[in-house]
């Protein structure tokens, strides 16, 4: 079925072919018609209930009705029929329309919704844009009468809003987005949470690396990527770790941060706030105020930095299984409101002053940590290094020193003492519904390699101080991302131990990075990098033939 409706196709369609619309009952705009019947329905329902209650109290027979009551009953039935027709027509059609229509028949007006099970959202079909009403809305969006961002709230239908916005966009730009899919996505699930003004969704293939043997458990790691060799390389690293007995991980720290900036009239006054906040007695009081923001938020510490008469307060707190940015921000706002009473001359410049630091490379995250701080290690046996990784221990140790340590120092790297940690972090983040922008600080990693057991085996470790992940909220609730979290066994909130799922996900990310680092470094040491990328990361399509 064609996803996009061209203007000529819409205009040539006869009004009699348009699907029935309950809004045709009144010559009013859709939202006014709905408002009239909603108001009428609830008003007369309230009036009748009130009248019947009085009759019961006065022992008056209910069948004795007055003219106003008859009018109210007629109005109730009429408004009910309208509302049922408007909101129930698609539901009724899903049972009436035969699912046996052949593939060759036109199915523009067929809206068949099938639910496989309660955990899987239904496959969605594109709402038709062939009605006069939709055509009028499209023209209104194009000429600016109706804002594009208001379609969902005006129509009460996210699928229809996305389809209308899509068509309006194509008319305004004069460019087709036919290759951008719109079918098969639950647009209700992103409303007010993940994305505004949607016109479709982007497809990213998901591969599986593993099993990753980590802390005596096996994990099949989903990776969403468009880079060839990445999943295959990580999978090879997982194999080497598995054959060597597995990897182990340690969670060093778990705390999300937010750092507001406030200003005073003098540096002396600013220092007084710093001393006040860092006083243990005052901290306990601030913790009580902060923790009121959520049943999972628990203030861990406040670190202050002063720049002249400006104070940057870096709040750190645990956030359960959520990544926690909203949670910590609410707690910080509570604390600032409380401090305002003791420091009325404090001018709150911003809830975030970049001392946090979010979505930017920063030494404070590299040193102090943000989110989950994890160390993951493994000892790779000599025979595995030779047979699976096709290199030797000495070559790996030397390459790591000259590339990941010395080479990164020469480049002035900040937290980038690794081969490609960002590759694995980004792929797992996208697959599991994390914020991709937080890949910046989450990819801070130092990879260490050392010959052990008399120089025969390889000890490899990755230290990642700021992995920012969650298993609830944001994109984690979308169907595809939720499935990937379920595959790892960390879907949703852990009811027995709050925060356990998010912490486990952080260790899996670190374990996956360990596997990726081991495999890529081995490929470079063995001189296989260019060869493998030429084989797996190049398209066979003839690029000289440009598609029209």
CATH number reported for the structural domain that contains residue 330 in this entry:
3.30.70.420
| Same domain for 324 and 272 | yes
Beta bridge mates, 209: 221
The answer to whether the beta carbons of residues 257 and 356 sit under 8 Å apart is: yes
Residue with tokens 């990328």, as numbered in its chain:
533
Report the alpha-carbon distance of residue 47 to residue 41 in Å, rounded. 10
* pLDDT score for 419: 97
Q: State the number of CA atoms in the 13 A half-sphere of 63 facing the CB.
A: 0
In a domain, 108, yes or no: no
CA 39 to chain centre: 37
Report the alpha-carbon distance of residue 484 to residue 490 in Å, rounded. 9
* pLDDT score for 398: 97
Domain boundary among 161, 177, 203: 203
| Same domain for 139 and 191 | yes
Interhelix angle for 67-96 vs 30-57, to 10°? 130
In a domain, 75, yes or no: yes
- C-alpha closest to that of 494 among 319, 249, 292: 319
- C-alpha closest to that of 153 among 109, 113, 199, 188: 188
Interhelix angle for 132-142 vs 158-173, to 10°? 50
Q: How many CB atoms lie within 10 A of CB 56?
A: 10
Report the alpha-carbon distance of residue 238 to residue 225 in Å, rounded. 18
List the catalytic residue out of 21, 55, 359, 403.
Answer: 359
Domain count, the chain: 4
In a domain, 113, yes or no: no
Report the alpha-carbon distance of residue 462 to residue 219 in Å, rounded. 18
Report the alpha-carbon distance of residue 298 to residue 284 in Å, rounded. 11
| Same domain for 476 and 490 | yes
Does 136 participate in catalysis according to the annotation? no
* pLDDT score for 50: 80
Residue-wise burial string across 191-208, b where 16 or more C-beta atoms lie within 10 A, e elsewhere: eeebeeebbbbeeeebbb
* Sign, CA torsion 364/369/371/377: positive
The answer to whether the beta carbons of residues 15 and 136 sit under 8 Å apart is: no
Interhelix angle for 500-525 vs 421-432, to 10°? 140
* pLDDT score for 53: 80
* pLDDT score for 222: 98
**Upstream peptide bond of 366 is cis (omega within 30 degrees of 0):** no
Q: How deeply is 12 buried, as exposed, middle or buried, from its count of CB atoms within 10 A (0-12, 13-18, 19+)?
A: exposed
* pLDDT score for 75: 81
Report the alpha-carbon distance of residue 421 to residue 404 in Å, rounded. 11
CATH code at position 164:
1.10.3270.10
- Residue 25 is encoded by which pair of tokens? 């009952």
In a domain, 92, yes or no: no
Does 386 participate in catalysis according to the annotation? no
Residue with tokens 């996210």, as numbered in its chain:
158
Question: Mind spelling out the 3-state secondary structure of 493-527?
Answer: CCCCCCCHHHHHHHHHHHHHHHHHHHHHHHHHHCC
- C-alpha closest to that of 157 among 136, 186, 119: 186
| Same domain for 285 and 319 | yes
**Domain, as residue range, for 198:** 123-203
| Same domain for 380 and 245 | yes
Does 435 participate in catalysis according to the annotation? yes
| Same domain for 215 and 187 | no
| Same domain for 512 and 436 | yes
Q: What angle do CA 294, 364, 331 make, to 5 degrees?
A: 15
In a domain, 130, yes or no: yes
| Same domain for 520 and 428 | yes
- C-alpha closest to that of 335 among 272, 278, 270, 291: 291
| Same domain for 128 and 245 | no
The answer to whether the beta carbons of residues 360 and 440 sit under 8 Å apart is: yes
| Same domain for 275 and 247 | no
- C-alpha closest to that of 427 among 245, 209, 178: 209
Residue with tokens 């496989």, as numbered in its chain:
116
Q: Which residues of the chain are under the pLDDT cut of 70?
A: 1-31, 62-63, 86-130, 530-548
- 261-289: pLDDT as tens digits: 999 999 999 999 999 999 999 999 999 99
List the catalytic residue out of 134, 167, 435, 441.
Answer: 435
CATH code at position 486:
3.90.770.10
Question: Mind spelling out the 3-state secondary structure of 29-50?
Answer: CHHHHHHHHHHHHHHHHHHHHH
| Same domain for 533 and 467 | yes
* pLDDT score for 536: 61
Full DSSP string of 174-214: ----TTS--TT--GGGGTTTT-SS--------EEEEEEEEE
* pLDDT score for 48: 79
- C-alpha closest to that of 184 among 159, 166, 209: 159
- Residue 125 is encoded by which pair of tokens? 């079909």
| Same domain for 376 and 343 | no
List the catalytic residue out of 227, 272, 278, 450.
Answer: 227
In a domain, 79, yes or no: yes
> Which stretches within 244-324 are classed as H helix?
267-278, 280-291
In a domain, 20, yes or no: no
């Amino acid at each position: 079925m064609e996803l996009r409706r061209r203007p000529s196709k819409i205009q040539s369609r006869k009004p009699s072919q348009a699907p029935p619309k309950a809004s045709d009952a009144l010559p009013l705009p859709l939202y006014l018609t709905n408002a009239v019947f909603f108001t009428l329905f609830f008003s007369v329902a309230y009036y009748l209930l009130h009248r019947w209650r009085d009759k019961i109290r006065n022992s008056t027979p209910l069948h004795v009705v007055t003219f106003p009551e008859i009018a109210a009953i007629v109005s109730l039935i009429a408004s009910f029929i309208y509302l049922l027709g408007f909101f129930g027509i698609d539901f009724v059609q899903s049972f009436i329309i035969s699912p046996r229509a052949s593939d060759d028949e036109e199915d523009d007006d067929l809206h068949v919704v099938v639910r496989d099970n309660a955990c899987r959202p239904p496959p969605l079909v594109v709402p038709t844009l062939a009605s006069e009403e939709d055509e009028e809305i499209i023209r209104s969006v194009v000429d600016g009468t109706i804002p594009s961002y208001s379609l969902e709230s005006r129509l009460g239908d996210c699928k229809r809003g996305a389809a209308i916005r899509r068509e309006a966009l194509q008319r305004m730009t004069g460019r087709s987005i036919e290759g951008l899919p719109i079918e098969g996505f639950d647009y209700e699930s992103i409303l007010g949470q993940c994305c505004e003004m949607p016109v479709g969704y982007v497809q990213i293939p998901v591969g599986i690396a593993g099993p990753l043997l980590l802390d005596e458990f096996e994990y099949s790691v989903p990776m969403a990527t468009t880079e060839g060799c990445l999943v295959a390389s990580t999978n090879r690293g997982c194999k080497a770790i598995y054959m060597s007995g597995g990897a182990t991980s340690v969670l060093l720290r778990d705390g999300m941060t937010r750092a507001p900036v406030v200003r005073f009239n003098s540096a002396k006054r600013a220092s007084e706030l710093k001393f006040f906040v860092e006083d243990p007695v005052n901290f306990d009081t601030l913790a009580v105020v902060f923790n009121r923001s959520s049943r999972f938020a628990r203030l861990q510490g406040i670190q202050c930095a002063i720049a002249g008469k400006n104070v940057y307060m870096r709040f750190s707190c645990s956030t359960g299984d959520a990544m926690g940015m909203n949670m910590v921000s609410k707690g910080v706002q509570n604390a600032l409101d409380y401090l305002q009473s003791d420091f009325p001359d404090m001018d709150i410049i911003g809830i975030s002053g970049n001392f946090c630091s979010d979505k930017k490379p920063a030494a404070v995250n590299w040193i102090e940590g943000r989110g989950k701080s994890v160390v993951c290690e493994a000892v790779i046996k000599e025979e595995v290094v030779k047979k699976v990784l096709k290199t030797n221990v000495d070559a790996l140790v030397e390459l790591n020193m000259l590339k990941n340590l010395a080479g990164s120092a020469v480049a002035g790297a900040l937290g980038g003492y690794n081969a490609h940690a960002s590759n694995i972090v980004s792929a797992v983040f996208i697959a599991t519904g994390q914020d991709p922008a937080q890949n910046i600080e989450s990819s801070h990693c130092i990879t260490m390699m050392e010959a052990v057991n008399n120089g025969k085996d390889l000890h490899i470790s990755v230290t990642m101080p700021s992995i920012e992940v969650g298993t609830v909220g944001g994109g984690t609730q979308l169907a595809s991302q939720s499935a990937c979290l379920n595959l790892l066994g960390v879907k949703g909130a852990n009811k027995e131990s709050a925060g356990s799922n998010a912490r486990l996900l952080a260790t899996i990310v670190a374990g996956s990075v360990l596997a990726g680092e081991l495999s890529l470094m081995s490929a470079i040491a063995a001189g296989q990098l260019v060869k493998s990328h030429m084989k797996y990361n190049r398209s066979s399509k003839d690029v000289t033939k440009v598609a029209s």
